Chain A
Amino acid sequence: MTTTTSSPKVAVLGAGKLGAAVTGLLASAGARVALWARRPEASAAVQQTAGKGVDVAATIADAVRGAQLMCFAVPVDALREVARAAGDVTTGDQIALHACRGVETGFVLPSEVLREETCLKQIGALGGPLYLDDAAHGRPLVAAVGARFDDVFRAVRLLTKNTRVRVHATHDLVGVELCGAISNVAQLAAGMAEGAGLGETDQGTLLVRGLAEAAQLGAARGAEAATFLGIAGVGDLIPRQVTSTRRNRHLGREIGQGTAAARAMTAHTALEGPVTAREARTLGDRLGLKLPLIQAVDDVLWRGAAPAEALERVLALDLSLSF
């Protein structure tokens, strides 16, 4: 931990939309941000916008070394590689945040990837609406933070003390991760429904079904039902335009409108929803869970099913929610 200067060092890994927003936010709150991105020109661009307090790090190790907190702002399929490099220099007192909304093959959750690749234990998942456009317009940025250790909440609150970030803390790390991951799958379904010309009620029904299925997976993985009713679950569904899921919804819409799933997915790489749908279905089958929505999305994306029929079958089911 760095104690040489009063302002804490924070590492941001990834200079996509989220990485850029986090960098700008923390730099404006007075933190020293070490920013790393795979493409140096991306970090340079962010540094230029964010201005003072942002250093571009040449390597992941340079960014992470001595940082009080590190934010993994990369999609889940890049997380392992980045975490492994960070793991060469991480120490047990550092705090990690990630904003992944998906799972790895084998239904490995992002926090589990971080545990496997680094010595970090104080891990927090960012979830909830996290609507970056709000922040860009000076409105409060609302996020759920799921972490098992109170120190994670303390660190996040301290770093965002002078910002308009509203943090909702929960110990249910797995619950927050599942809410985010499965909401992407539900947004894919809602997008397909929209593209196929189904109405808003049907789209809404699919989103609610997604939440119920997330909760079922949650029960199997030790998450708490209350999390799915909180800011990370319902709180993420209600705002109509949710940044992190908008692109998944867009992909769904294209497929709903008739683009072949395989072709549409090639055009939208780095989206977390499709792999998550496939892995959630595999896990559900293994555990004997009934996950008709996840199954339908998987059928459309990976098994050539027609979107309208697959979704109609889900909509015809009795949606009696039981948590």
Chain B
Amino acid sequence: MRARDRERVLSELASRVVEETARAGRVEEALADAVYHEQRRLKEDRSKTRDDEQSFWRDVQSEMRRASERALLDQLRRVVRRYGDEICGQFDERVYNSVTRAGEPLIGLLLNAVSPKKIFGELFDERHLPRFDDSVVLQGEIPLLHKLRERGTLILVPTHVSHMDSIAVGYALWKLGLPPFLYGAGLNLFSNPMLGFFMRNLGAYTVDRRKQDPLYKRVLKEYCTLTLENGYDNIFFPGGTRSRAGAVEKKLKLGLLGCGLPAWTHHLQAGKRDKERFYIVPATLSFQLVLEAETLIDDFLKEQGKARYIITDDEFSRPKRVFDFLTQLLSLDSKIFFTVGRPIDPCGNAVDDQGESLDARGRRIDPTRYLLVDGKPTVDDQRDAELTREVGERLTDAYARDTVIQCTHLTAHATLNLLRKANAGIDFVRLLRGGGRVDDVPLRDLHAEVRRLLDELRGLHSRGGVRLGPIALDKDAEDVIADGLRHFSIYHAQPAVLRKGDRIASGDRALLFYYSNRLEGYRLERGTGLRSPLTPDHRALAKGA
């Protein structure tokens, strides 16, 4: 957030939240909750700021004992302000300008920022920087994205598989000539001082997922609403957390997605006419390989859906690994697809090429009507939650349509299908742990299975139900498998799929499962007797899988 807006937004934030709490007669309760939740969290906290935080909350607690109405309001304002400051952080326009002007080395810089040592050793030495130029493919509704940006404020909602997503999205936006969007990033990503510095200055604000205090969540939501009202485009990762199973998200955590509705209502109440609209833009990211695949699938299998919400010790925290991942991936001429989907309005309606909302039959409608109560624009939490639920449904449809299926996904899915058939009757989890009668399958069976999947997927693709990478689109099964194997061989410790003469095996079946899951949800196994190993929301293993 720009310096000139910061103070205004934070003070508006404080007055809104404090007034709302006071109106509900919940000032004391909200403070007591905050003190309780924060002190409890701090007991487990090992960070450097712990002492400072503990003394802050002790002070709030002792001030509360005075308990005059006024004193309580002051304390509430103080707490809200503290949360607001933490979320918003500091943004330096000069850094932002220099980084965005730096152009192509931006990503290298960002990656190097993961490792302070690297930045001194190899700063701007482009030979060492992974080049995204030929690798990131931008496709989909890009002209519309530019057009809608002139009419209103954008909420970009990409799929979330890897921490590389934020870097790829950042790159894509830069490449499209758009300024950085604001986005919430987990506090753990700021712990590296260099990376945190750049993230902060490229629009990231802080989300501390460890904070359970309802007041904190309220402040976070109001902060997002206010940034939107002030015309800042935002990025929300609606899964909230990276997909553990590697599947396309089916049930979204909507969280901050609903902020567009109150922001829009406030614009209407204020009579704002210029750029008063908001647009939700789905986007998908597709990598052939996923940096943290091993950690994510391991977490999925360990917890079976009750995933740890925050993983702090994964591949992303190891700079060398990130660097190697990208250089190796890009050396294979691998494509990373950033696909912009068809935008919708915050009420869940489609919009036309002029940004006007449409009903299901394509007639233009006035979407602001949904925000009226008794003829006046009014914020209504129940209504907004329901409209946002619809937005979530539209987004999951868009994700399924705009996911780009690549060779690693196809090769893994076909291999897993064959292993499952060859080991019929074996418990699925046992199979993933390396059990079963059969370890490998004939290569020619894999050819046939990939061919079958390609037939299904190409049919679906022609009906607009999915997107395919260049090889999957019009090359032979043999080419798909060769490309898949090539990718699997370069990065992971044990390849998900490997060739042994004329047979195909898996070096790591959990990984195999992870990459295979990208094809879940398309009903590709109809009539084969194989049931999906995942629940319909793709967040857990299906019963009896």
Contacts and interface: CB of A to CB of B under 8 A. Distances in A.
A115 B375 CA distance: 22
A1 B382 contact: no
Interface of B: 347, 349, 359-361, 363, 365-370, 372-375, 380, 382-383, 386-387, 390
B347 A121 contact: yes
Interface residues of A, number: 19
A91 B366 CA distance: 7
A91 B360 CA distance: 13
A118 B360 CA distance: 7
Contacts of B369: 91-94
Given A119-B365, A151-B380, A92 B370 contact: yes
A93 B360 contact: no
Contact of B375 (A3, A84, A117): A3
B370 A87 contact: no
B444 to A, nearest CB: 34
A168 interface: no
- In order of increasing CB-CB distance, the 7 nearest A-B pairs are A92-B369, A119-B359, A92-B370, A119-B365, A93-B372, A93-B369, A91-B369
A1 B376 CA distance: 10
A91 B365 contact: yes
Contact of B363 (A3, A88, A94, A148): A88
A302 interface: no
A81 interface: no
A1 B377 CA distance: 12
14 contacts: A1-B374, A87-B361, A91-B365, A92-B368, A92-B369, A93-B370, A93-B372, A115-B360, A121-B347, A148-B386, A149-B383, A150-B383, A151-B373, A151-B383
Q: Find the residue from B347, B368, B374 having the highest chain A CB count within 10 A.
A: B374
Interface string A81-107: 000100110011110000000000000
Q: Find the residue from A3, A88, A91, A117 having the highest chain B CB count within 10 A.
A: A91
A312 interface: no
A116 interface: yes
Q: Find the residue from B363, B368, B370 having the highest chain A CB count within 10 A.
A: B370
B387 to A, nearest CB: 7
A116 B361 contact: yes
B33 to A, nearest CB: 26
A117 B360 contact: yes
Contacts of A92: 347, 365-370, 372
B361 A117 contact: yes
Given A91-B365, A121-B370, A1 B359 contact: no
Nearest to B364: A119
Interface in A1-23: 1, 3
B344 to A, nearest CB: 13
A1 B372 CA distance: 9
A40 B383 CA distance: 37
A288 to B, nearest CB: 11
A319 B349 CA distance: 44
A107 B365 CA distance: 28
Interface string A63-94: 00000000000000000000010011001111
Interface in A277-314: none
A121 B349 CA distance: 10
Contacts of A119: 349, 359-360, 363, 365
Nearest to B359: A119
A152 to B, nearest CB: 10
A47 B406 CA distance: 65
Contacts of B390: 121
Interface in A147-171: 148-151
Nearest to A150: B382
Given A92-B366, A92-B370, A1 B380 contact: no
Contacts of B373: 151
A304 B221 CA distance: 61
A87 B380 CA distance: 25
Contacts of B347: 92, 121
B386 A118 contact: no
Contact of B382 (A87, A91, A93, A149): A149
Contacts of B380: 150-151
Interface in A127-183: 148-151
A279 B511 CA distance: 42
A118 B363 CA distance: 9
B364 to A, nearest CB: 10
Nearest to B372: A93
Contacts of B361: 84, 87, 116-117
Nearest to A1: B375
A121 B372 CA distance: 13
Contacts of B349: 119
A91 B369 CA distance: 6
Contacts of B374: 1
Nearest to A154: B373
A149 B383 CA distance: 6
A88 B365 CA distance: 10
Contacts of B375: 1, 3, 93
Contacts of A116: 360-361
A123 B255 CA distance: 25
B375 to A, nearest CB: 5
B359 A149 contact: no
Contacts of B387: 121
